[in-house]
Amino acid sequence: MLKKIVVALVVVVVLSAVAVCVAGYGLHGSAAAAAEVSSPLAPAEAPATDNGFSIEVLVSGAPTTEYAARGRRYIEALENAEYELRIHNPTASRVAVAVSVDGLNTIDARHTSAWDAHKWVIDPYGTITVRGWQMSSENARRFYFTTERESYAAKLGQAANLGLISAVFFRERAPITIMKAPPKPIYGTGEDRSAPKDSTRAESAPAQGGTANSVNRNTVQPYPPPDDESAATGIGRSVRYDVQWIHMDLDPKAAGEITIRYEYRAALVKLGIIPRDYPEPNVLDRRERAQGFEPKYCPQP
């Protein structure tokens, strides 16, 4: 079924691929758009893949090390470091990929199913880079690692899914048709989301069928205050990232799904993902051997 979608038309100089961002409307279908000495060490792995589809987290342009453990993939978050997501399509067909960070869609910051989510489109054998939260048809705000309390999700009152990066891929069933006068992608439902001053607030596109995409964010109940010691993703500086809407017909069966967990080093040590950099002190043993007095005078400082 042909769906109306938002396309982020972004020329990305990565393997000479043209990226597009897609948004989906309708009761069931979504549209597609085109547009970085105690615990054993989990072995470093190649980028997470599923059916050849891959996603990498880049910091300063270099992929972060991934660790396979507990049936998941983990990376180390570096506090205040900006990062981006590099996503690859290994097939001969265009695909649309729903990308969420901390449970929020990277295009409109909504929490929906992957099928109903707005999506990014990747050309055959292409690669795109998603650098941040899409704030308007021209601007995005960079991803960066921060504490839970300072995260973008916490600011929106949706801190239930922090520390997770997810990508779900859908194959195209028909050619893409780019509209002559595409509307701007959705941004906001009546509240200020700290949009950059130099960007123009986008208009809301008409939703069809009353899907989860049309739910007013003000009805979401806030979660309890999060733990500042855990990693999450903030909403950073503004960068130019142009998008537009398109039509795209997608196969509703997901072609691939990848999930990456991220944590600060201390948490990865506690989980046994990476080794401790220093000997773990046996505090209780030391305290049990403590003595109240010794036959000495007070020493000179």
Per-residue pLDDT, 301:
73
Q: Calculate mean pLDDT across residues 229-244.
A: 91
Among the ranges given (175-184, 200-209, 252-261), the one the predictor scored with the smallest mean pLDDT: 200-209
Per-residue pLDDT, 227:
60
Among the ranges given (5-9, 108-112, 159-163, 260-264), the one the predictor scored with the smallest mean pLDDT: 5-9
Distance CA(43)–CA(269), nearest Å, equals 14
Distance CA(85)–CA(95), nearest Å, equals 16
Q: Calculate mean pLDDT across residues 134-144.
A: 93
Query: Which tens digits make up the pLDDT trace of 5-48?
Result: 545 454 333 333 333 455 443 323 333 344 433 334 455 566 76
Per-residue pLDDT, 235:
96
What string of H, E and C letters represents the secondary structure of 40-83? CCCCEECCCEECCEEEEEEECCEECCEEEECCEEEEECCCCCEE
Per-residue pLDDT, 205:
30
**Assessment of whether the complete model's pTM goes beyond 0.75:** no
Per-residue pLDDT, 21:
52
Q: Sorting pLDDT into bands at 50, 70 and 90, what band is 228?
A: low
Mean pLDDT rounded to a whole number for the chain: 74
Q: Sorting pLDDT into bands at 50, 70 and 90, what band is 170?
A: very high
Per-residue pLDDT, 189:
31
Per-residue pLDDT, 248:
86
Per-residue pLDDT, 16:
31
Per-residue pLDDT, 175:
61
Per-residue pLDDT, 5:
52
Q: Within 13 Å and on the Cβ side, how many CA atoms surround 273?
A: 25
Nearest to 57, CA basis, from 186, 194, 209, 231: 231
Q: Are 186 and 160 in contact (CB under 8 A)?
A: no
Per-residue pLDDT, 274:
86
3-state helix, strand, coil in the chain (%, to 5): 5, 35, 55
- Stated length of the chain: 301
Q: Calculate mean pLDDT across residues 199-226.
A: 37
Per-residue pLDDT, 71:
84
Of the chain, the percentage scoring pLDDT greater than 70 comes to 64
Q: Sorting pLDDT into bands at 50, 70 and 90, what band is 50?
A: confident
Distance CA(99)–CA(128), nearest Å, equals 12
Distance CA(85)–CA(63), nearest Å, equals 9
Per-residue pLDDT, 44:
53
Q: Is the pLDDT of residue 269 over 80?
A: yes
Query: Which tens digits make up the pLDDT trace of 68-83?
Result: 888 889 999 999 999 9
Q: Is the pLDDT of residue 242 over 50?
A: yes
Nearest to 25, CA basis, from 173, 240, 245, 199: 245
Q: Calculate mean pLDDT across residues 108-128.
A: 94
